[in-house]
A and B are shown apart, each in its own frame.
Chain A
Amino acid sequence: MKRAGFENIWLPVALLLPQLMIIAIFFYWPAGWALQSSFFLQDPFGFGSTFVGAENYTSLLGNDQYKRVAGFTIIYSVLVTFFSLAIALLLAVKADKVIRGAKTYRTLLMWVYAIAPPVAGFLGILFFDQSTGPMTKFFQMFGWDFKLGVDYNATATAMIIVAVWKQIPVNFIFFLSGLQSIPRSVREAAMIDNRSATGRFWEVTFPLLAPTAFFLLIINITYALFDTFGIIDALMKGEPGNNPMTLVYKVYLDGFRGNDLGGSSAQSVVLMVLVLILTVFQFRLVERRIHYT
């Protein structure tokens, strides 16, 4: 194969520059600042800062509240990722089989995608409202005195349900287009080779959908960790007290409500490293099993 090359170095540099600048300004620069300020203790009124070494990090290790938030973040991310992928896959498989009115179903299922996370959070408040919310009444039918924003488990449940609901459409679109890109004849060959529809799904359809599923797995973990901020903020109604929150929300809370910029920076550096490790892990272990056509 012939390798194409540029005659001089400046053209490729110029072509890459806009993208590199965006990454530099919006990622490396703030990340560098966070790293730097994580070693300092800032004065709450902005009069100066003192170098404290790794103290911001070591104090995180001994902080029970931080550990509890980290624990909730893991459970929350796993549940949100799992349910939003699983439900979307189920819907996509069903929608793929529909022949009549397929477009209508697809459009209806995609509407939610257009809703911004904070708006989804407010819709969640309406649904889970203590006195009028239909979901609250639904849970009460099962004898659960559901109190949004007061009871830890109630708020956690509401957060997960709203976050999942908001993410399903994106996953649905990707899964559906993934399903539709599987050649019809391959599925038909499988129908002749395998009587069981479940067997066909897991042995033929799903492996061919795996590249899409892997991509969505990464997108969904990122979504659960970071992009659900608006939902959490809305559902908590500004009263963090006894409510569950994710690590990202705690970074915001400690930094901008608590004015502890150093501690908050240390938390965001930890979060950054964790996500980095998780991503490397995913690419190394999961992606290896995927067949790209």
Chain B
Amino acid sequence: MAQVSLEGIRKVYPNGFQAVETTSFTIQDGEFVVLVGPSGCGKSTLLRMIAGLEDITEGTLKIGDRVVNDVDPADRDIAMVFQNYALYPHMTVRKNIGYGLKNRGTSTSEIDAKVQDAAKMLNLTEYLDRKPAQLSGGQRQRVAMGRAVVRDPSLFLFDEPLSNLDAKLRNQMRIEIKALQRRLGTTAVYVTHDQVEAMTMADRIIVLNAGRIEQIGTPSEIYHNPASTFVASFMGAPPMNLIDAQVEQGQVKINGYEGLMPASASNTGPVTLGIRPEDVVLDEQGAVPFRVDILEELGAHRLLHGDLGGQSFTVLIGKDHAAEIGETRVRLKPDALRLFDVESGKVL
């Protein structure tokens, strides 16, 4: 068990590309932290620096109380699960799981016992003597997990471990990994580009964009109070509606429609207004007209895509609410409105 702290960590590749800007954060003991962001945002680089597979250009990395900048990956007391599982194809499942223990001088009988335990926990007992090529994707994923848990490390690192699985298996493994981490109480850093994984698994989410941290927070904070338009549009499916608006005389206006919410006078001028699709209510007496162009039926809800004051806009309604294509009016829940700076995208 360990706390992980990054102090002023920065990564510049030999070709001059800065993959991660100067970054500091601390992961608490036993916490499940998800690094999320689009491809190329530096999330994998960050994880690989923690693993020791990538040099740290600048800054201090601590696992527990130990500075590990120059510590060999094998000596960092970590275990990593890779996207393509990275199993040793020439070894049986048993040897794959036990390989790390063997190299740490564990006795054969102890390795056997630990491998058995791990296999039992992951429902792999009957596959111990198979080679990875004879296993399905989900089973390989479990072997990779087994290889990680068997060593009882102080830190788990996950590099998009579920992205090679099909949707159904992914949902199942998501729950299994989370439950396993809870049970073992091991600190975990999990990298993904899938915001659903981030929302469902994380104790805390770190949203990255272009090598920079956009926001750190619990899933609920990230979802309800995004720090920037980037976070607002990246997290949540469908994403938050972001439309141009004005603040005049302490009031937010969209194309002249008034009375949405009061705003402090200091923000006078153009702003970006954000609202989650589920915080919009269809209401004939609503303040703003909305034209429904496309209706998406999702079973539990419906998505209405259309036009609000000349800008594209999405509304999510429950399955019990009637809706049809054409002109209607909407009401925006005032306490769900978020205002962002037009230039920087930061929340106001």
Q: How many residues of B contact A (CB 8 A)?
A: 25
- Contact between A193 and B86 (Cβ–Cβ < 8 Å)? no
Q: What 0/1 readout, one digit per residue, does chain B (158-175) give for beta carbons within 8 Å of chain A?
A: 000000000000000000
Find B90's partner among A99, A100, A183, A291 (CB 8 Å cutoff).
Answer: A291
Distance between B92 CB and nearest chain A CB, rounded to angstroms: 11
Using Cβ atoms and an 8 Å threshold, which residues of chain B touch A95? none
Find A191's partner among B53, B84, B87 (CB 8 Å cutoff).
Answer: B53
Distance between A188 CB and nearest chain B CB, rounded to angstroms: 5
Using Cβ atoms and an 8 Å threshold, which residues of chain A touch B74? 191-195
Q: What 0/1 readout, one digit per residue, does chain A (76-91) give for beta carbons within 8 Å of chain B?
A: 0000000000000000
Distance between A6 CB and nearest chain B CB, rounded to angstroms: 31
Using Cβ atoms and an 8 Å threshold, which residues of chain B touch A188? 51, 53, 73, 80, 82, 86
Q: What 0/1 readout, one digit per residue, does chain A (151-165) give for beta carbons within 8 Å of chain B?
A: 000000000000000
- Contact between B82 and A193 (Cβ–Cβ < 8 Å)? no
Q: How many residues of A contact B (CB 8 A)?
A: 22
Question: Is B40 close to A, CB under 8 A?
Answer: no
Using Cβ atoms and an 8 Å threshold, which residues of chain A touch B133? 293
Using Cβ atoms and an 8 Å threshold, which residues of chain B touch A183? 84, 86
Interface of chain A residues 146 through 205 with chain B (CB within 8 A): 183, 185-186, 188-196, 199, 203-204
- Contact between A195 and B75 (Cβ–Cβ < 8 Å)? yes
- Contact between B82 and A189 (Cβ–Cβ < 8 Å)? yes
With known contacts A192-B73, A193-B74, A195-B74, A208–B90 Cβ distance under 8 A? yes
Using Cβ atoms and an 8 Å threshold, which residues of chain B touch A100? 14
Mostly helix, strand, loop or mixed at chain B's interface? Answer: loop
Question: Is A230 close to B, CB under 8 A?
Answer: no
With known contacts A188-B53, A207-B90, A193–B100 Cβ distance under 8 A? yes
Q: A185 to B74, alpha carbons, bound, how many Å?
A: 15
CB within 8 Å of B: which residues of A?
99-100, 183, 185-186, 188-196, 199, 203-204, 207-208, 210, 291, 293
Interface CB pairs A-B, < 8 A, 24 = A99-B14, A183-B84, A185-B84, A185-B86, A186-B87, A186-B88, A188-B51, A188-B80, A188-B82, A189-B87, A190-B99, A191-B72, A191-B73, A191-B74, A192-B74, A193-B100, A193-B147, A195-B72, A204-B88, A208-B90, A291-B89, A291-B90, A293-B89, A293-B133
CB within 8 Å of A: which residues of B?
14, 51-53, 72-75, 78-80, 82-84, 86-90, 99-100, 103, 131, 133, 147
